Amino acid sequence: MSVPKKILLVDDSPTVLLMERLLLQDGPYELLSASSGMEAVERALAEHPELILMDVVMPGMDGFEVCRRLRAEEATRNTPIILVTTRGGPEHVEKGYESGCSDYVTKPFDGNELRAKIESFLGY
């Protein structure tokens, strides 16, 4: 059994964080969480997660800004960032890619699909 890979979950809603934890808890992951954009940047730089799953819309620093800041840092330049968007928000998705995100999922998402995307990035 290899070392569990760290995934940082970022959302200002505790309910969404809990749901993401429930979806991913059975996988070979160590789950970290952050409840704001600023906390996400700090945790990502301190803990070097192998993947970040992050909400777009958050008060203060939003997901786009977090992407831009992490892409500007050597340590997190290539960390896969999956943005969580809501349906009908194409402008969010487009802006997400232009901010440096790696992929996106649309709420409500399916656990199996989310795991398939994550595993692809983590090279399972």
Partner 1 sequence: MGAVGEIVSQLMGCEEHVLFALEPEGERFLPVSAMGLPPERIQSLLVPQGILGQVARHGVPYVIGRTSSVGAAPHEVGLTACIPLLGGRQVRGVLALFRMLPQKRGLSDEDLELLDLLRLQGAVAVTEPRQGALATYEPASAPLLGEPSPLWTFYLEPGGLVAAARPTEVTTILGSCVSVCLWDERLRQGGMNHFLLPTAPYGQLPSGRHGDAAIPMLLRELERLGSQRLNLRAKVFGGAHMAGLPPDGAAPTLGQRNAELARRLLEEAGIAIIAEDLGGSAGRKLRFRTDDGMALVKTLRAG
54, β-bridge pairs: 10, 83
C-alpha to C-alpha distances, 103 to 34, 35, 66, 83, 100, nearest whole angstrom: 19, 20, 15, 6, 9
Q: Among 68, 69, 73, 74, which residue sits at the site for partner 1 (rule: CB under 8 A)?
A: 68
CB within 8 Å of 22: residues ≥ 6 apart: none
CB-nearer residue toward partner 1: 4 or 86: 86
With contacts defined by CB under 8 A, name the span among 6-14, 26-34, 53-61, 78-86 that binds partner 1.
78-86
The minimum distance between CB 119 and partner 1, in angstroms, equals 8
CA distance 69 to 49: 15
CA distance 44 to 22: 21
Burial per residue of 104-116, b for 16 or more beta-carbon CB atoms within 10 angstroms, e otherwise: bbeeebeeeebbe
Question: Does residue 57 bind partner 1 (CB under 8 A)?
Answer: no
Question: Does residue 13 bind partner 1 (CB under 8 A)?
Answer: no
Question: Does residue 120 bind partner 1 (CB under 8 A)?
Answer: yes
Question: Does residue 104 bind partner 1 (CB under 8 A)?
Answer: yes
Question: Does residue 74 bind partner 1 (CB under 8 A)?
Answer: no
Task: Name the site residues for partner 1 (rule: CB under 8 A).
Answer: 67-68, 71, 78-80, 86-90, 93-94, 96-104, 106, 108, 110, 112-113, 115-117, 120-121, 123-124
